[in-house]
Amino acid sequence: MRWKRTIQLLDVHAEGEIGRVAIGGVPKIPGDTIAEQLAWLNSDPKGQELRRFLCLEPRGAPIGSVNLLLPARHPDADAAFIILQPDQAHASSGSNAICVTTALLEAGIVEMKEPETVVTLETAAGLVKAVATCRDGRCEKVKLTMVASFVHELDVDLQTPEWGGINLDICYGGIFYALVDVGQIGLTIDKTNAAALVRAGMIIKSLINSQITVVHPEIPAISGVAYVMFRDTESDGTVRTCTTMWPGRADRSPCGTGNSANLAALHARGRAKVGDVFQSRSIIGTQFEVGFLGETTVAGKTAIIPTITGRGFTFGLSQVALDPFDPLADGFAMTDVWGPSAGEI
């Protein structure tokens, strides 16, 4: 073979959301910290080239993420990772942390111990503790202690041309979210409404980021609202979610960082306290357990420590390669599959 680059990928999903894990062939990423490496991936042409190579057609697909396994920089961490998606590299993700933990243990990169293995993951947003329940060589479920989550602003009034005024919360759960009660756009969170929800999410996200500056007070590499998460509460108290992701798809999982952000909003309104546990259900009906572990502060802001529990499943092993003569080395996306925003890629 005359391949210029090869990267080995272990295919994993967490409650339906695909998080492929690059376990071999990952090039050296410049930066002294994971946050600096994140910034390089999002700003340097070579970093963007790597993302496009893995995430766009013909080697990638509009569903799921690719997680780059990196050497940990923090002395307490077992491994580090950064999430690549079609739009950019992202700092943190609950579903992807579950996928990475499952991959590390089931591939033997980190020794599996039964009945429980603790894995400390380093992200650009901070350390995430993963406690994996293990049996017969398999990772059955993963409980994540997420990074500190906090409210940026509650009850933001956003004027939209289609739905009029929308009230939303901007909160941080490892990345920034706009949290929107779904009834305001006249929809329910159901698979049949996925395309309409995604369309609305892309419009709302664009409006927010054109009008509101959002930057993490301690990690400037994390800025802007990454996703719009629509939410609803079912009769049994379960939180129903649909996180909409650029250029036009819905998260298949209940969304770990989104639920962390939502928990910060619930706490700020006096609707959640330390020790509370609730269920969150995705647009396809899969579930995460969301827990309120404790309170803390971030740059003087009140913050909370959430936990997210879910399952990861391996389903394939592949190798992605680049022929040096391939004219589509930079990747591409089309609106027929990727949605109307694909024209911006």
93 given a catalytic annotation: yes
Of 95, 255, 260, 341, the active-site residue reads: 255
- Measured from the Cβ of residue 30, the count of other Cβ atoms closer than 10 Å reads 13
Partners of 150 in the beta sheet? Answer: 172, 303
223 given a catalytic annotation: no
Phi, psi of 59 (to 5 degrees): -95, -25
Task: Give the C-alpha separation, 334 to 337, whole Å.
Answer: 6
Residue 115, preceding bond cis, omega within 30 degrees?
A: yes
Task: Give the C-alpha separation, 277 to 322, whole Å.
Answer: 46
3-state DSSP of 290-334:
EEEEEEEEECCEEEEEEEEEECEEEEEEEEEEECCCCCCCCCECC
- Measured from the Cβ of residue 157, the count of other Cβ atoms closer than 10 Å reads 8
Task: Give the C-alpha separation, 338 to 64, whole Å.
Answer: 12
Task: Give the C-alpha separation, 34 to 337, whole Å.
Answer: 32
Of 65, 92, 93, 253, the active-site residue reads: 93
Task: Give the C-alpha separation, 15 to 252, whole Å.
Answer: 7
Please identify every residue annotated as catalytic. 93, 255
